[in-house]
């Protein structure tokens, strides 16, 4: 059978129909049992600066007001001489959520964005984030 544009059009219609069906089919989410913990470790541009440490710790308290936050803690490093303990950072912040959706909402919330823009970025030289499920 020779090729013609009718077959090409028919093939496109079939492909497009199945593509639309697959887009409208709800995708299964992987079940996550347990809370999500978002740990932020900060190294100051001026390491050890107590005023800047306090600004970060106090400023991050606003994060507890964001909907979906179960708990929020922030504090300065506890110096340690143990080889296994890293005490090179200045401030750590830990925020807990009931699910990944709450964490994603938190990350785009104006309080979070303001804290990052006005305190974290100006005061820190390095930030590491660890997210885990309990």
Q: How far is CA 29 from CA 26, 73, 90, 100, 101, in A?
A: 9, 29, 37, 11, 11
pLDDT at 61: 98
Domain map (residue ranges) of the chain: 36-133
- The reported pLDDT for the residue numbered 33 is 83
Neighbour-count burial of 36, counting CB atoms closer than 10 A to its CB (0-12 exposed, 13-18 middle, 19+ buried)? buried
Token pair for 39 = 């740990």
Show the tokens assigned to 100.
Answer: 């990944």
Q: What is the pLDDT of residue 29?
A: 55
Can you list the pairs that 47-52 forms with residues at least 24 positions away whose Cβ atoms lie under 8 Å?
Answer: 47/90, 48/90, 49/90, 52/90, 52/123
36-133 sits in which CATH class?
Answer: alpha beta
How confident is the prediction along the chain (134 residues), in pLDDT tens digits per residue?
A: 555 544 544 444 444 344 444 444 454 455 678 999 999 999 999 999 999 999 999 999 999 999 999 999 999 999 999 999 999 999 999 999 999 999 999 999 999 999 999 999 999 999 999 999 99
Q: Would you state the pLDDT for residue 32?
A: 77
């Amino acid at each position: 059978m020779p090729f013609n544009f009718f077959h090409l059009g028919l093939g496109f219609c079939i492909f497009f129909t199945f593509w639309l069906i697959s887009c409208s089919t709800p995708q299964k989410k992987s079940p996550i049992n347990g809370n999500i913990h978002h740990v932020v470790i900060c190294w100051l541009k001026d390491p050890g600066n107590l005023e800047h440490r306090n600004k970060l710790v106090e400023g991050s308290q606003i994060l507890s007001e964001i909907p979906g936050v179960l708990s929020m803690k922030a504090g300065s490093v506890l110096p340690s001489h143990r080889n296994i303990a890293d005490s090179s950072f200045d401030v750590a912040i830990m925020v807990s959520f009931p699910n990944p959706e709450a964490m994603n909402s938190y990350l785009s919330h104006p309080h979070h964005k303001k804290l990052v823009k006005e305190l974290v970025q100006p005061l820190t030289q390095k930030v590491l984030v660890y997210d885990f499920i309990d």
